[in-house]
Amino acid sequence: MTHETSVPSLPGWHGTTILAVRKDGRTVIAGDGQVSMGQTIVKGAARKVRTLAGGKVLAGFAGATADAFTLIERLEAKLEQYPDQLARACVDLAKDWRTDRYLRRLEAMLLVADRSSIFTVTGVGDVLEPEHGVAAVGSGGNFALAAARALIDNTELDAEAVARRAMAIAADICVYTNGNLVVETLEA
């Protein structure tokens, strides 16, 4: 009989919620500020949403911070290579992410948006465009997504108000999400 020994691992950095909403020509990405390690909140005001391409593109990330920064740098390079072609830049990034030996190990997800499109980009090669103008990633992503989907067509709230309200709902439900938001907006 053999005995397997397990090596205790350090708790991973965990938790965030990133939400993208497009309504009436406005595109918004909102991200909470909480960073947790195991059951401990280590930072409450992290900035997980960025503007790229001279303010024409918004990006939010969930996952390992260093990995996400690496991916955002790569996305910026793709946007320089393919100006005003967000879909092409995202597909090219996803292809590199899936096939490059170094990038393949990166653990993060990106939500990327311009004035007309929103994409979720993953390390398995996915570039997904939402059907309803709403996308979310992270531990509280499903809560924020459900809330935003309910609010987007059934209220008079604008895109930013939908995002803020949906993020507040996610923060009330998900222990890895807080109400300390960074919100970036692109006008039509």
**Which sequence positions are flagged as catalytic?**
16
Q: 49 forms bridges with which residues in the sheet?
A: 60
- What is the Rg, in whole angstroms, of the alpha carbon atoms belonging to the chain? 17
| Torsion from C-alpha of 96, 34, 32, 20, nearest 10 degrees | 30
Query: What is the chain's percent helix, strand, coil content, to nearest 5?
Result: 35, 30, 35
- Report the C-alpha gap between 5 and 83 in whole angstroms: 52
